[in-house]
Each structure stands twice: as C-alpha cells, then as structure tokens.
Amino acid sequence: MSTTNITVTTTTIVKINLRDFYPWYDRDEFVELPEVVAAELFAGKRYESAYQRRTFYNKAHYSIDAEDGIESVALACHIDTPETAFAKMENYCRLCHALNSLSEIPGKRIEARYLQGKTVQEIAKAEGVSESAVKASIDRGLREMKKFLSKNLQNCVANCP
C-alpha cells in the first residue's frame, strides 16, 4: 500500500495601493496581490528609502561661510519659487498636449528620441526602418508640435489639471 502526501498551499491575498509605490498614479488604485509579491514591493520601497538616506548622509554639505559660491549653485538647482514651479508645470502641460496631438509613429519617435534619450540609429534599428525615415518623421512631428503650440497656447494651459 502506497501513501501519497498532498500538500495544499494557500496564498494569502493582500490589497495594496499602487499610488504608494508608483509616483505617476495621481489617484488611489487598489489591487489585490499575493502576499509574496506585496512583500517584494514593500522590500523594494524600503531599499529605495535606505538608499536615499545613505545618499543624503554621504553627500558633501558645504559651509555657507566658505564664500566660494558652491552653496548658491547647490541651492539654486533644488529650490524653485512657486512662480517657477507653476511655469514649469504649464510648459510640461503644453508639451504633453502637443505630443499627444501627433499621430502614433511621429509621437513614438519623438518620445523615444527626446524623452528616452535614444539615438536616431537606435530608433531606426528597433523599428526596422531607415535613419532618414526616422529623421524626417521626427522633423515633421516637431513642426506639427510647433504649429499646435502656436495655435493652442492658451487652450493647453486651460485644460491642464
């Protein structure tokens, strides 16, 4: 007589908010995940937090008394006035609207070139087309974005969140 051992594993389901893990979520988005996956997400978040603390701790903090100009440069790149922050947000909204106004191919190519930092050669190789076709598409898309921005300058800002 043979004996068969049957092991039943139960997976605990955990509900998490994706907004806590991904900064691009602007609203609460709850998903149910296995406990193992949720534990890895929390571990990643703890690792990221520890990394930021280590970076801050090990960063050189210069004295304001040194008068060598280093502190003003360091402060200038990190502190925006409310007006500057608002102007940056408006420009970002305008660019997003202009980029979204393009058709799919030029939009993807401009995004790859300027937002992802890929070269024209890399884009052409990935899409299986010639470099000149990619360059022409990007140029056409940039001209269309320029037209869109010149026509819809005020509408873009009004439609921003």
Give per-residue pLDDT as tens, 99-114: 888 889 999 999 999 8
The predicted structure's pLDDT at residue 56: 76
Residue at 63 is within a domain: no
Distance CA 101, CA 156 (A): 11
- The string of DSSP codes covering 96-154 is HHHHHTS-HHHHHHHIIIIIS---HHHHHHHHTS-HHHHHHHHHHHHHHHHHHHHHSHH
Q: How confident is the model at residue 121 (pLDDT cuts 50, 70, 90)?
A: very high
Which pLDDT value is given to residue 20?
86
**66 found inside a domain:** no
Q: What's the mean per-residue pLDDT of the chain?
A: 80
The range of the structural domain enclosing residue 53 comes to 13-58
Residues 90 and 44 in one domain: no
Domain count, the chain: 2
The per-residue pLDDT for range 37-72, each reduced to its tens digit, is: 889 989 999 998 898 888 777 776 555 555 555 555
**Do 50 and 108 lie in a common domain?**
no
Judge whether 77 lies within some domain.
Answer: no
Is 70 contained in some domain?
A: no
Are 152 and 104 contained in the same domain?
A: yes
Same domain, 52 and 87: no
* Whole-number pLDDT of residue 154: 60
The b-or-e profile of 88-109 (16+ CB within 10 A means b, else e) is eeeeebbeebbbebbeeebbeb
64 falls within a domain? no
Q: Give the pLDDT confidence score for residue 141 in this predicted structure.
A: 92
On whether both 49 and 88 belong to a single domain, the answer is no
Q: CA-to-CA distance for 52 and 58, rounded, in angstroms?
A: 10
Sign of CA dihedral 63, 74, 87, 25: negative
Confidence of residue 136 (pLDDT cuts 50, 70, 90): very high
- Of residues 160, 155, 113, the one with CA closest to residue 136: 113
Q: Report if residue 74 sits inside a domain.
A: no
